[in-house]
Amino acid sequence: MNLACRTALTLIALGLFAGCDDDPAPKVASAPAEMTPLQRAEAGQALWEEKCRTVAGEKIYKTVPDVEGLVLLKVRPKAWEPEWADPMWPGAAFALEAQTDEYITTFLGYEYATFTQGRDEPNEITKDRRGYIATDRRPGLMDRPGYRYVDVIDSKDGQRYRYTGRWEEPWQYDKSYLKGYIKFFLDRVPAPDPAPRYGVTFEDHVIPEERALGVASSTVRVIDLETNEVLGEMLRYAWSTPASSANPSPWLTAYKCPGHAVGASAATRKFVDQVLIPRKEQ
């Protein structure tokens, strides 16, 4: 079924043809007054497809091998249902991205491949077919590591802190855990000098004319902090119909370009590690 057909079926399911949704009106951007809900959806889909065709995508200008750590200049903040329904929410284009400490952890994790039902061998990881990011160190993952540490500027005190991950067996000292249980811990300490040379940031775009049609966008950039050179950037667009009782969190189900079929929570990490290539473990 093509996208246009799915759009029409979505509008029917949402009750937008008949205006039968009894929910309180969500906060919305102003669409042109003469537009019907169907016209608004069609215009939003058309705009999104145009952006996907002409400007969205990944651009890598320079790669850096053997990178141990980096600075996250921003961290995806906490968001939940009110944001997922808000057409003006800044983070809408990355609604499925991990947040707060989990966002940091995605940069520390290992990547493992997916499996296709009926096949014993894992799918090959390629640029267009990435895997999941996880923190465990299972056999076969050691050649696809994340970064060894991540520095973050704390928004409250302005200080730089270093995050690393470790596995422990808490059952050894806490008998409330079952024997053999292992757990991942995210450690934070004041970061030593010098700071990592490379940084990652993002800019969420809130363009009223585009948001009125259900279209959101955001740019991720990888920066050489010594020269201010942009090494790579990813521009993503997302599109969805408005919130309703049938779909109360539309940004979670939005169409995206570029996107990932699996591991959507680590989309930024999976772009950054193409630019700043993590050092392999010995």
Answer whether residue 11 shows pLDDT above 60: no
User: Quick one: average pLDDT of 19-39?
Assistant: 60
How many folded domains does the chain comprise? 1
- The domain containing residue 267 runs over which residues? 3-278
Residues 42-80: tens digit of each pLDDT = 999 999 999 999 999 999 999 999 999 999 999 999 999
Element holding 274 (H helix, E strand): helix 267-275
- Strand 198-205 and strand 69-72: the pairing is parallel
Model-wide pTM > 0.85: no
In degrees rounded to 5, what are phi and psi of residue 269?
-55, -40
Side chain identity at 99, as an amino acid letter? Q
Residues 236-253: tens digit of each pLDDT = 999 999 999 999 999 999
In degrees rounded to 5, what are phi and psi of residue 270?
-75, -10
Helix (H, G, I), strand (E, B) or coil at 222: strand
Do 70 and 213 form a contact (C-beta atoms < 8 A)?
Answer: no
pLDDT of res. 128 = 79
The string of DSSP letters for 43-81 reads HHHHHHHHHHHHT-EEEE---EEEE-EEEES--PPP--H
Q: Mean of the per-residue pLDDT values for the chain?
A: 87
